Amino acid sequence: MSTQTITKRLTLTDLANKKRAAEPITMLTAYDATFARRIDAAGVDCILVGDSLGNVIQGQNTTLPVSIEHMVYHTQAVSRGVEHAFLIADMPFMSYRDRVTAANSAQQLMAVGGAEMVKLEGGQPVLEQVSFLNDQGVPVCGHLGLTPQHVHRLGGYRVQGREQRARQQIIQDAQDLQQAGALMLVLECVPDELAGEISRQLQIPVIGIGAGAQVDGQVLVLYDMLGLTVGHVPKFSMNFMTDGRDVPAALEAYAEAVRSKAFPAREHVFA
């Protein structure tokens, strides 16, 4: 069992308190009920039904073919396995292109899927949607830096925010998302120091993936950290299925490594 005592379902208030207490927040992706149960039992704080399911479940090259129906199906499955973790679901490509579409997608993910928060990618172009969803009582998580739904516009999966102008834009977008009502932010593949600055500036929890150790929490794609991914594994990830661990032990080792700040180590960080 996890070293932390699990007593109740985690809420956004608990996560905000963890940020205030400088207690790292743990998050993993999941796509089905069995893994969700195991992640939940390992004491991981948040489960994200990521649209990375397009890559790891469907075998697609990008997340663009993932539909709202796929997301609802997997969110329903995951939610059946969750007792304690806070459950977040991704809004897939084009499912939040305007306020009404975003509201319909959030309604599907929350009312049908059982998500407690929805995540969407981008900055300035989605502020209106974030504000509208927030007004309707939908908790929203932003996602900046490497936003995989924009892979073609970004010219590939690469570190973002290294040049001064891009760095300033990410900082501005982060502030504006919080101002619009976002209650959490994921930062993907940005320099460690930029992620640290944003985490210190924002009141909301900032969760990193390839964003170094100065953020308020970490998320990894489940199949990467279980060593299942064939081919390219991102530099920022780590295989926890080592030292003779089984799956439950690897999940607990991940949670413990994030809480003790042993992960991410120097080799997982972008400068």
Q: How far apart are CA 61 and CA 52, in angstroms?
A: 10
The number of residues in the chain equals 271
Q: How far is the CB of 270 from ligand KIV (least distance, A)?
A: 15
Nearer to ligand KIV, 68 or 221 (CB): 221
Nearer to ligand KIV, 202 or 221 (CB): 221
Q: Which of 116, 121, 188, 256 is catalytic?
A: 188
Q: How far apart are CA 172 and CA 248, in angstroms?
A: 40
Nearer to ligand KIV, 52 or 178 (CB): 52
> CB of 85 within 8 A of CB of 49?
no
Task: Please give the distance of CA 220 from its chain centroid, rounded to a whole number.
Answer: 8
Nearer to ligand KIV, 148 or 196 (CB): 148
Q: How far is the CB of 48 from ligand KIV (least distance, A)?
A: 6
Q: How far is the CB of 50 from ligand KIV (least distance, A)?
A: 2
Q: How far apart are CA 56 and CA 64, in angstroms?
A: 13
Q: How far is the CB of 16 from ligand KIV (least distance, A)?
A: 19
> CB of 131 within 8 A of CB of 180?
yes
Cα dist from 258 to 16, 156, 212, 251, 252, whole Å = 17, 28, 11, 11, 10
> How many Cβ atoms from other residues are within 10 Å of residue 84's Cβ?
18
Q: How far is the CB of 245 from ligand KIV (least distance, A)?
A: 22
Nearer to ligand KIV, 45 or 51 (CB): 51
Residues whose CB is less than 8 angstroms from the CB of residue 144 and which lie 6 or more positions away in sequence, other chains included: 121, 122, 123, 160, 170, 173, 174, 177, 185, 186, 187, 188, 190
Q: How far apart are CA 7 and CA 10, in angstroms?
A: 9
Q: How far is the CB of 188 from ligand KIV (least distance, A)?
A: 6
The site for ligand KIV (CB under 6 A) is made up of 29, 48, 50-52, 90, 186, 188, 209, 219, 221
Question: Does residue 188 carry a catalytic annotation?
Answer: yes
> CB of 131 within 8 A of CB of 97?
no
- Which helix (H) or strand (E) segment holds residue 197: the answer is helix 192-201
Burial (0-12, 13-18, 19+ Cβ within 10 Å), 191: buried
Cβ-closest position to ligand KIV: 50
Residues serving a catalytic function are 188
